[in-house]
Amino acid sequence: MLRLASTILWPSFLVAIVAEGFFFSLFDPGELLHIASQLDLPPLAGYTIGFFFFWAFCAMASTLTYYLANVPKDRSPQP
C-alpha cells in the first residue's frame, strides 16, 4: 500500500510544483484572492491553496493512469 501511495503521490507532487510555477508566473495570487472578496487571505495562502489544488488534481490523474495501466485483461471491456 505504501508503494502504491508513493507511486501515485510522488510524481503528482513533482508535477504540481511545475504546474504551480507556470500558473503563478501568469497570475498573482493576491489579485486572484480579491476576486473572491469574501476571503481575506494573504498571498502566501493563495500559493498554498493553489499548490494543494494542483497536487490533488495531479494525484487524481496519476491514480487514473495507474488504474488504466493495471486493469486485468479479463475485466477490460469486450469490443
Q: Which amino acid is at 38?
A: Q
Q: Would the pLDDT of 17 be above 60?
A: yes
Q: What is the pLDDT of residues 25-71, one digit of tens each?
A: 998 877 776 666 666 778 788 889 889 999 999 999 999 998 888 87
> What was the pLDDT predicted at 3?
82
4 falls in which pLDDT band (50, 70, 90)? confident
Helix (H, G, I), strand (E, B) or coil at 16: helix
Q: What is the dihedral of CA 59, 61, 64, 69, to 10 degrees?
A: -100
> What was the pLDDT predicted at 67?
87
Using a 10 angstrom Cβ sphere, with 0-12 exposed, 13-18 middle and 19 or more buried, the burial of residue 13 is middle
> What was the pLDDT predicted at 16?
95
> What was the pLDDT predicted at 72?
74
